[in-house]
Amino acid sequence: MQSKSYSLSIQNMNCASCVNKIESKLKALPGVQAVSVSFAGGQGIVEIDPAKISLREVLRAVTKLGYPTQLLKTKGEEPKFSRLFLLLVARFFVSLLCSLPLIVTMFFAISVPLQIGLATVVQLFGGWPFYKGTLLGLRNKAANMDTLVALGTSTAYLYSLFVVLLNVPRAIYFETGAVLITFILLGKILEMGAKKRAYQGMKSLLMLQPKLVRVKKGDKIEEIDAGMVSGGDVFLVRPGERIPVDGVVIKGDSHVNEAMLTGESVPVHKAVDLEIFAGTVNLESLLEAKAIRVGTETVLSHIIRTVQQAQASKAPIQRLADKVTSIFVPIVLGVSLLTFFIWWAFGSNPVEGLVNAVAVLVIACPCALGLATPTVIMVACARGAKEGILIKDAAVLEIAQKIKTLLIDKTGTVTEGAISVQEVVISKNGSSESAVQMAGSLAQNSDHPASKAISRHYKEKNIALFQVEEFTAYPGKGVTGKIKGERYYLGSPLFLESARVDSTEFLPVWEKLGSMIVAFGNNARCLGFFALVDQIKPGSREVVARLHKKGIECVLISGDRKRVTSEVAASLGFDRYEAEVLPTHKSDVVEAYKKQGRITGMVGDGINDAPALAVADIGFAVGGGTDVALEAASVVLMRPSLEGVFDAIVLAGQTFRKIKQNLIFAFGYNILGIPLAAAGFLHPIIAGAAMALSSVSVVLNSLLLQKQR
């Protein structure tokens, strides 16, 4: 049986050590093939073999660890987010009100019983989440951030209580534990708010799909829930409304804003037989459409699932942070004990050793380290989706910014994939108007792309066309028919030659042209020809130049003739080209470039590009491409232009720089903070404030990615 992948929503994670605990537990279960958990996003991805383990068993295993888990939904916000946030705010304000009088004791004396009462409220009510987390950790034989906070604040509280009850002539530190808990709760509020802002990009995608749909049933129009729509239902979308499900227009003509899917601000014209997509906005007039993809099958739902999975995945650089955090808490506990014993043995005041040991416990909390990478990935994936860049895995962000060679498919990627008339050449002895009328008349009766291009060319010029009799099409060759009693031919030069049409006049010109040639003539001779080309997409030349500035070698790859491919490559400024490459050999070309030791990307849009996209270090599927190509690629570009490739590479570079900044800050904070605390230069209260601010600063730095161009 084929493996299945699920996205999970996981609650109560407090730091990176919680992530390690969950991942270790799941990896130990039979049938779990892969797992990745994101602390910042509160999400996870698990891949299982349904024959060996069920999703219910996976959910039960994580929940039993103390982290309530459920299948991640594609609608709504994080489960219980609001309730947890409000409870956290309540704990903070109660702790703050109780801590303020205790802070006064640092300057003025107040009654000791009052100090005990206030400190006890903070310790038990404000600090309860930390005790709960510690108990869960002990039950699972693991220490975490809660362990450090609970142990540090309890040490200060119990020591002070011991001094008071036994009437020992020592200083008391009730304010230390209370203020520490207050600061840490404040840090958690700020952190949760910042994480919520990082989640806004995802939430904006979730809110795009309308809840209600106007469905046409006979002569009646009913308003039903979007989840009740079935494939084949006819629905209506009024001007200004969002489209509820994917469909095909059966009546109406309008423009639709698809910026939320493609990042392209220019409205797209929609008429009969054209597709419309859930979440996009109808701008002008009423559209009547038939539903073709509903519920989780819509393009929007697919994007949401992909972004959720990418946000829960891990970049390779995060492995270093994971290794450190897996052993970090036990090391910190050891350093704290060592600090206490050294001060006890060699210091003039043993109590100072206790205070410094508490400071070590608090300053070393690994929250910032656990948030450093996931928060950046959350923001990057959501921002990318907003710009029409769909990233399937966090590893893509690390690899894409290292690309040195980029192979780009020609047709449909740098060119429009739809041929058009470049030039019309008429015989010296022929009548220009008469000749084109005959050719256009034949073309309008054919469905061949070349005929459609010719027919479109003359419709735009409003040239009158004639009725064709005895019309016959020869697939892959050309067409023939009688106009005003005389037979005419339209097709390849070989087709006219086989019909014994004299075309010697044009042979020298044909040899020089690399374009597609469609000749036309009558029984006597060739009257002229059309030079057809696949139009270059606007902006392709500029994108290639920008890629060069980033030091990326650009290679054009095509199954087209060498002459045509070389002309396109030269006109766009490509470094080199690979022409006449069979579809089955494109992946071989990619492999050859990879063997040169350079990180290699592949850009394509068709079925024949799928193997090459899968083989490349990073595969970019240009929007509008086939489902096969979109599945094989690492990055899906919803816009049908090459510019999205450059934007994706730039976004990857910005993301990786943010990750490095966060990791340097988080590691530096702990490396510098622990020695200072152990040496007695950081009071526990200051350490608590610094610890809270470190986590918030890492998240805020990640959010700056939203503002970068």
Name the residues annotated as catalytic: 409
CB 541 within 8 A of CB 573: yes
CA angle at 290 for the pair 287 and 294, rounded to the nearest 5°: 115
Contacts of 697 (CB under 8 A, 6+ apart): 368, 665
Q: Where are the beta strands (DSSP E) in 605-658?
A: 618-622, 635-637
How far apart CA 527 and CA 422 sit, in angstroms, is 17
Give the containing element (helix H, strand E) for 344: helix 318-346
Q: What Cα–Cα distance (Å) separates residue 709 from each residue in 194, 196, 218, 657, 706?
A: 21, 22, 50, 14, 8
Residue 382: how many other CB atoms lie within 10 Å: 25
Alpha helices, DSSP H only, in 122-169? 128-139, 145-165
Q: Side by side, which strands form the sheet with 618-622?
A: 389-391, 635-637, 618-622, 600-604, 405-409, 553-557, 576-578
Beta bridge partners of 289: 235, 249
- Nearest 10 degrees: CA dihedral of 626, 630, 635, 639? 30
Q: What Cα–Cα distance (Å) separates residue 612 from each residue in 396, 556, 587, 605, 618?
A: 16, 13, 4, 11, 10
The first and second tokens of residue 179, run together, are: 């203020």
| Dihedral sign from CA coordinates of 490, 493, 494, 499 | positive
Residue 80: how many other CB atoms lie within 10 Å: 13
How far apart CA 587 and CA 616 sit, in angstroms, is 8
Annotate 408-467 with DSSP letters as a single string.
Answer: EEIIIIIEEEEEEEEEEEE-TTS-HHHHHHHHHHHHTT--SHHHHHHHHHHHHTT-----
The first and second tokens of residue 311, run together, are: 């946000």
b/e per residue 299-315 (b: at least 16 CB within 10 A): bbbbbbebbbbbbbbbb
CB 173 within 8 A of CB 73: no
Q: What Cα–Cα distance (Å) separates residue 519 from each residue in 432, 442, 507?
A: 14, 12, 11
Q: What Cα–Cα distance (Å) separates residue 318 from each residue in 344, 398, 463?
A: 38, 10, 65
3-state secondary structure 184-234: HHHHHHHHHHHHHHHHHHHHHHHCCCCCEEEEEECCEEEEEEHHHCCCCCE
How far apart CA 672 and CA 1 sit, in angstroms, is 51
Residue 444 is which amino acid? Q
CB 167 within 8 A of CB 73: no
Give the number of C-alpha atoms closer than 13 A to the C-alpha of residue 596, restricted to the C-beta side.
13
Contacts of 431 (CB under 8 A, 6+ apart): none
